[in-house]
Structure 1
Amino acid sequence: MRPAYDLLPVLEGLGLPHAWDVLDHELGSLSLLTPELRREAAALVSTGESISLDLPLGLVDPPLYGRAAHRHRHVQVGRNTYEDVIDDFNPQSGSQWDGLLHVRAREFGFFGGETSFEKASRGPGISRWARAGIVGRGVLLDVARWAEAQGSPIDPFSGHVIGDEDLRTCADQQGVELRTGDILCVRTGWVSAYRSLDAGSRASLASRFTGLRADAAMARFLWDGQVAAVAADNPALESTPGDQAVGSLHRRLIPLLGMAVAELLDLDALAARCAELARWEFLFVAVPLPLAGGVSSPANALAVL
């Protein structure tokens, strides 16, 4: 058995627990996705409906965090043959996976302890995740729907903080239990609200939005719950702006716990269908880019009901 969060060794100098000696340094939390768990997840399919969890490329416009917009052009390579060329494409400009090279725990290193990005990026990077894909039981916690039903709707652009206790209560209300190897998807309502805005209102949205609390309790909830990945429909999983006194959830999860993180997933259609079926579990399938040394990837994700 792997140690509980509170029993993990603490990284000297940073004062935060790490799992560098617990999980595979390339797979991280995806090590939990065993063939047995994949078979169990496949058995969840009943209606056969598949729902894409990817936003259309270019929907987030202007791109967040100063990223460049991709440029799509067609090239005629023969009399009757055409190809696509995409310039300045950033895999993190839309629905995305943050790989284990995305964040370093300051000078202490990436997941596993390598401090040099040059050396770390010589490894497989996110292409290691692409070999078997990310296939398992998906669980949707529709926090936006739950909060509205409680009479306390959440403004996705308010910087509201979702704590571990909120996720527990939402799961209880939905009648769903988290299990080892789950891909946990949290809907904040950000994508739905973003779609309703005009172009002029979208420019400054990266500075404030609702998301997960970045504290040790959230990291403990995710680690002790043994989730294989955690995903959200907002730009950075955690609430923004953060609190320096609390710290960074990205730092706690990615370089220290090796956790797979997805952001900007389109969970709206899935949430609507899950509510209709009164069922919040599904087969989750994603295939990241087989990009050697890759830091990130488009989500390329589906939910199969």
Structure 2
Amino acid sequence: MTAAETVLLIAALLLALLIIGNVGFSKLAAWRNPPIGKFLECDGVVLHYIDRGDPAAPCVVLLHGNGSMIQDFTISGLVDLLARSNRVVCFDRPGFGYSQRPRRRIWTAAAQAALLVKALNQLGIRDPVVLGHSWGAFVAIALGVRKDYPIRGLVLASGYYFPTVRLDVWLMAGPAIPVLGDLVSYTVAPIISWAVLPGALRKIFAPRSVPQTFKNEFPASLVLRPTQLRAAAEESALLIPTAAQFQSYYSTMAHQVQIFHGTEDQVVEHNQARDLHQALPRSDLHLVPNVGHMVTYADPAAIVQAVNSIANS
């Protein structure tokens, strides 16, 4: 065996070990963090969701950001606060938590909204208030502009609404590349993500510290699974094109919109929220001082008040 063949064999063995290790890690992460909600099958996709509060009360639908899952809203306290006077339905969006993300579709915000409309109809939910955080704001807007499903209004938190130059999102989109991205997702991406995750969490919560409840309760190991890393990479790749597409919708949106954004957000500049407020016919802007990207943790009571103002209007 030549030296080159030996190197190739060693590389192949290392890749195989990494793949086996990451598959095993994913199974262990799922065993340690079982689903906290229910499942429904809709349009060939299994969705994981929770349904809390009074079924007869006005409904609020919660949509998390990129790389996250249902627990983001339960740990922040939003689910419990909202459930005092509303029915609260929160989905793991496709590819995150325990919801499937079939590869045969491109999961744009519009595609996710179309799936959620079918899921909400299946659950008998009409006229909800839709709250979207970060990338979830795209899906909330996509629901709001549909003509075949009525909503009461939108609450958008820490969203990205207008295209800008963002080198970081292209760097994060690597695992979404066909074939090569799969190899990266099942080999080095989980290791790299594990290494950078503490710094990433500090950044999204900055200038405040990461809450201890989040450190204790958020199932970070689920975030590091290859399938979820690929889903997050796909949404990173779709961020700027989606904003470019959606900016033409804003002037035609008739729903009441409540916009929340932290003034110290290091992920999405708060000017995005100001510009959206100016573009929308009906909106209220809440710029929260000394708060970063996770504005949902900073003042959940104010967000609940905004939701209830729309739900009861």
Identify the TM-score tier after normalising by the shorter chain: under 0.3
What is the TM-score normalised by the length of structure 1?
Answer: 0.28
Bigger relative contact order, structure 1 or 2 (CA pairs below 8 A, ≥6 apart): 1
- Greater radius of gyration (CA): 2
More helix by share: 2
